[in-house]
């Protein structure tokens, strides 16, 4: 008489064994999670028939603990490369995390043959997103930069103002996309639709500055002014560099 509530039946011909699913897993039964979802008892379960010989003690590719010397219920091997060995519970855990799209041999990266063999041997491979793609794990990668990064944003509405056109249209660096500027803040004309931040610029040179200007690296050009050096009409004729008159006078004394 079968155990009470045992609803899983071995699909082997003329095999009368029935078992609970958890009890069957502990005893070495296999349930296939594809097609007709067949289950097999410990006597009729599918076996791996691959020629895989260990030269020395082999470790599980996932947990790095020793595996059995030949393929068995608790030890599986990749049918493609025959060099990747792993415990059943280790490869099952990887299948649940990777899901159908990413699950493959951890060593040779074979997917089609590897998945067919793992399905046949009772490894459950869910058809869903991988675990690392759930719960918005990569949501930050889809966020778009939304602020003007010049050292002094001129927009009255603030750095995050982004009009569709006009002086306050926000342009992002077309190379990295991680910096932005308003047209007005970087002295860009209305016809400019593309902009590149100073870090991504391939000019390799610093633009020439007019007297009284300094370079704003985020705005890619001369920006805020500073007082011009104090010079006198006779300095240029005397060969005195701008801003060095006081030093020269001190030497003359």
Structural domains of the chain, count: 3
Q: Is residue 179 a contact partner of residue 217, using CB atoms and an 8 Å limit?
A: no
Lowest-pLDDT choice from 82-96, 192-206, 211-225:
211-225
Which residue shows structure tokens 């791996």?
Answer: 48
Tens-digit pLDDT profile for residues 63-100 = 999 999 899 999 999 999 999 999 999 999 999 999 99
| Residue 183, pLDDT above cutoff 70 | yes
Q: What is the pLDDT of residue 232?
A: 54
Domain boundary among 84, 116, 134: 134
Categorize the per-residue pLDDT at 236 as very low, low, confident or very high, splitting at 50, 70 and 90: low
| Residue 199, pLDDT above cutoff 60 | yes
Categorize the per-residue pLDDT at 211 as very low, low, confident or very high, splitting at 50, 70 and 90: very low
Domain boundary among 182, 197, 212: 197
As a three-state string, the secondary structure of 93-136 is HHHHHHHHHHCCCCCCCCCHHHHHHHHHCCCCCCCCCCHHHCCC
Per the domain annotation, does 68 fall within a domain? yes
Q: What is the pLDDT of residue 237?
A: 55
Categorize the per-residue pLDDT at 215 as very low, low, confident or very high, splitting at 50, 70 and 90: very low
Q: Which of 156, 219, 225, 210 shows the shortest CA–CA distance to 183?
A: 219
Tens-digit pLDDT profile for residues 19-58 = 999 999 899 999 999 999 999 999 999 999 888 777 788 9
Per the domain annotation, does 242 fall within a domain? no
- pTM value is 0.55
Per the domain annotation, does 150 fall within a domain? yes
Per the domain annotation, does 113 fall within a domain? yes
- CATH code of 157's domain: 3.30.40.10
- CATH code of 96's domain: 3.30.40
Per the domain annotation, does 187 fall within a domain? yes
Give the domain range for residue 3. 1-45
Mean pLDDT of the chain: 81
Residue 68 phi/psi, 5-degree rounding, is -65, 165
Tens-digit pLDDT profile for residues 122-178 = 999 999 988 887 776 667 777 888 899 988 899 999 998 988 889 999 999 988 888
28-35: long-range pairs with CB below 8 Å, 24+: 28/73, 30/73, 30/121, 30/122, 31/122, 32/119, 32/120, 32/122, 33/119, 33/122, 33/123, 33/124, 33/125, 34/119
Q: What is the pLDDT of residue 162?
A: 87
Q: What is the pLDDT of residue 86?
A: 95
Which residue shows structure tokens 């070495």?
Answer: 28
Q: What is the pLDDT of residue 41?
A: 95
Lowest-pLDDT choice from 80-84, 195-199, 222-226, 243-247:
222-226
CA distance 247 to 253: 10
45-53: long-range pairs with CB below 8 Å, 24+: 45/73, 45/122, 46/120, 46/121, 46/122, 47/71, 48/76, 48/77, 48/79, 48/117, 48/121, 50/77, 50/79, 50/82, 51/82, 52/77, 52/82, 52/83, 52/85
DSSP annotation of 185 reads G
Q: What is the pLDDT of residue 225?
A: 40
């Amino acid at each position: 008489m079968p155990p009470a509530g045992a609803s899983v039946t071995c699909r082997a011909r003329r095999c009368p064994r029935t078992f609970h699913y958890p009890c069957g897993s502990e005893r070495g039964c296999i349930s296939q999670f594809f097609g007709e979802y067949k289950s097999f008892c410990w006597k009729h379960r599918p076996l791996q028939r691959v020629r895989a010989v260990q030269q020395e003690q082999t470790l599980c590719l996932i947990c790095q603990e020793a595996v059995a010397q030949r393929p068995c219920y608790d030890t599986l091997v990749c049918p493609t490369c025959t060099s990747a060995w792993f415990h059943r519970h280790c490869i099952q855990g990887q299948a649940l995390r990777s899901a159908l799209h990413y699950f493959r041999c951890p060593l040779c990266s074979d997917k089609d043959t590897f998945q067919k063999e793992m399905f046949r041997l009772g490894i459950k491979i869910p058809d869903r997103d991988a675990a690392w793609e759930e719960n918005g794990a990569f949501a930050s990668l889809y966020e778009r930069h939304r602020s003007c990064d010049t050292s002094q944003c001129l927009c009255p509405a603030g750095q995050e103002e982004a009009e569709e056109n006009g002086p306050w249209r926000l342009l992002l660096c077309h190379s990295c996309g991680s910096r932005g500027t308003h047209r007005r803040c970087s002295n860009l004309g209305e016809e400019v639709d593309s902009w590149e931040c100073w870090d991504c610029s391939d000019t390799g040179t610093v633009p020439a500055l007019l007297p009284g200007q300094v370079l704003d690296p985020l705005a890619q050009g001369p920006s805020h002014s500073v007082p011009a050096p104090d010079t006198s009409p006779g300095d240029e004729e005397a060969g005195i560099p701008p801003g060095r008159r006081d030093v020269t006078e001190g030497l003359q004394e």
